[in-house]
Amino acid sequence: MATVQNPSTTPLRQGVQPLRAGQGTSFLWRKLHSLLGIIPIGAFFIEHLLSNFEALKGPAAYGAQVKFLNALPLVRVLEWTFIFLPILYHGLYGMYIWIRGKSNVVYYPWAGNWMYAAQRWTGLIAILYIGQHVWRQRFAGVSLPENPGAAFAKVQHELASPIMLAVYVIAMIAICWHFSYGIWLFAAKWGITPGTIARRRFGYACGALGFVLLIMGLASIWAFISPKYRNAPENVTPVVAYLHSTAPPYAAIAG
């Protein structure tokens, strides 16, 4: 009788398949997703918050900041390469990651597992928010690149609606969370903080950063709804401003 040639165990017909050692490209796409979250998206996020912070100085300063940004060389190219496309990729691939994971925080309600789930939900909030934000603030309505002076009023109108205000506040919280935990995850998953103690310390640092960013973000929102700049002018730098008016824009209108 011949020795049986069949495999010794019934082959796995279902269930998780073994590692495809060294094969496929998912490593690259996943690492790209991870990296983009920090640079440029994270960097841009910080820049955006800093810019928004100018709103606390009033519509003119805010308008000037918007103008400055829009005056950068190759600004449209920069905008697409370093902001829109990375965010689009990070968001869509993030959703892809989400649907492939099976969250089980119900059974294992451990801190890291909650964070895992939170990172996905905050990511979802972020991408939905960013979608409407970019559409309504960048592409719809008054074109800010051409009318940077209209920036303050445009945002102020938006935040006049309590619903939109709530959306902005929630999104600000979610994005600050997503970003600061994202930095922490990046450090852990890229081997920058392998040890438990290092991770815990860096966790405090990320938490502090997230908190500062959140305060800055909420303060900027406050600038738009505070009584101080109520009913800001529709455009602090009217077309005449293009004619190299020497007077301060705000003064010009006031005058």
DSSP annotation of 82 reads: I
The least distance separating other proteins from the CB of residue 90, rounded to whole angstroms, comes to 15
Of residues 124-183, which lie at the interface with other proteins (CB under 8 A)?
Answer: none
Tell whether residue 113 is a contact of other proteins (CB under 8 A). Answer: yes
In our burial notation (b when 16+ CB lie closer than 10 A, e otherwise), range 214-248 reads bebbeebbebbbeeebeebbbbbbbeebeeeeeee
Which region, judged by CB under 8 A, interacts with other proteins, from 38-46, 50-58, 111-119, 209-217? Answer: 111-119
Binding residue (CB under 8 A) for other proteins from 80, 190, 222, 242? 190
Tell whether residue 205 is a contact of other proteins (CB under 8 A). Answer: no
Question: For residues 110 and 135, which CB has a smaller minimum distance to other proteins in the complex?
Answer: 110
**8 A C-beta contact, residue 159 and residue 230:** no
Tell whether residue 31 is a contact of other proteins (CB under 8 A). Answer: yes
Question: For residues 2 and 163, which CB has a smaller minimum distance to other proteins in the complex?
Answer: 2
Tell whether residue 192 is a contact of other proteins (CB under 8 A). Answer: yes
Of residues 85, 71, 95, the one with CA closest to residue 242: 71
Which contiguous run of DSSP H or E holds residue 101? none
- How many angstroms separate the CA atoms of 170 and 131, rounded? 15
Q: What angle do CA 83, 87, 93 make, to 5 degrees?
A: 155
Q: How far is CA 137 from the centre of its chain?
A: 15
Residue written as token pair 């600038």: 223
Tell whether residue 200 is a contact of other proteins (CB under 8 A). Answer: no
The least distance separating other proteins from the CB of residue 212, rounded to whole angstroms, comes to 23
Burial zone of 55 (CB within 10 Å; 0-12 exposed, 13-18 middle, 19+ buried):
buried
Binding residue (CB under 8 A) for other proteins from 73, 162, 191, 255? 191
* Torsion angles phi and psi, residue 84, rounded to 5: -65, -55
Q: How far is CA 157 from the centre of its chain?
A: 22
User: Residue 129 corresponds to which tokens in the numbers above?
Assistant: 């928010």
Tell whether residue 30 is a contact of other proteins (CB under 8 A). Answer: yes
The least distance separating other proteins from the CB of residue 129, rounded to whole angstroms, comes to 22
Of residues 214, 113, 204, 206, the one with CA closest to residue 170: 214
Question: For residues 102 and 244, which CB has a smaller minimum distance to other proteins in the complex?
Answer: 102
Question: For residues 27 and 242, which CB has a smaller minimum distance to other proteins in the complex?
Answer: 27
Tell whether residue 193 is a contact of other proteins (CB under 8 A). Answer: yes
Which region, judged by CB under 8 A, interacts with other proteins, from 55-63, 105-113, 154-162, 226-234? Answer: 105-113
Which stretches of the chain bind other proteins, using CB under 8 A?
1-4, 8-10, 12-28, 30-31, 97, 100-104, 107-108, 110-113, 115-116, 185, 188-196, 199
